[in-house]
């Protein structure tokens, strides 16, 4: 749970998640949307992977990223326990 909240704590990582909500993207496509270095994007993507928020699949020379929606569902279900 700690890795999950650490991953969600950064605005760049949250923006990456918003982008992946629309469609799967390669690391290069994600990097092109930001004005930061590619190693910095790799760092953010790695934290998202460690938190299981994204799934990375290598296809040829590219790594494609997609949301791992099951983690979000689990988080929402856990948070809803505090509703009442």
For tokens 């505090």, name the residue: 82
- Give the pLDDT confidence of 46-69 residue by residue, as tens digits: 999 999 999 999 999 999 999 999
Residue given tokens 């569902």 in the structure block? 73
User: What H or E segment, with its residue span, contains residue 25?
Assistant: strand 25-26
pTM over 0.75: yes
CB distance 27 to 63 below 8 Å = yes
Query: Encoding tokens for residue 67?
Result: 């949301």
CATH T-level assignment (fold) for domain 2-80: Arc Repressor Mutant, subunit A (1.10.10)
pLDDT band at 1 (very low <50, low <70, confident <90, very high): confident
Instruction: Name the residue with tokens 């799934």.
Output: 55
> Which pLDDT score, from 0 to 100, does residue 44 have?
97
Q: What is the pLDDT of residues 10-20, one digit of tens each?
A: 999 999 999 99
Q: What tokens does 51 get?
A: 């938190």
The domain segmentation of the chain, as residue ranges, is 2-80
């Amino acid at each position: 749970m700690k890795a999950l909240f650490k991953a969600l704590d950064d605005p760049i990582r949250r923006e990456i998640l918003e982008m992946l909500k629309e469609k799967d993207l390669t690391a290069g496509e994600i990097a092109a949307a930001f004005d930061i270095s590619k190693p910095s994007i790799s760092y953010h993507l790695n934290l998202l992977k460690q938190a299981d928020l994204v799934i990375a699949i290598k296809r040829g020379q590219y790594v494609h990223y997609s949301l791992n929606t099951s983690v979000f569902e689990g988080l929402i279900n856990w948070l809803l326990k505090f509703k009442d």
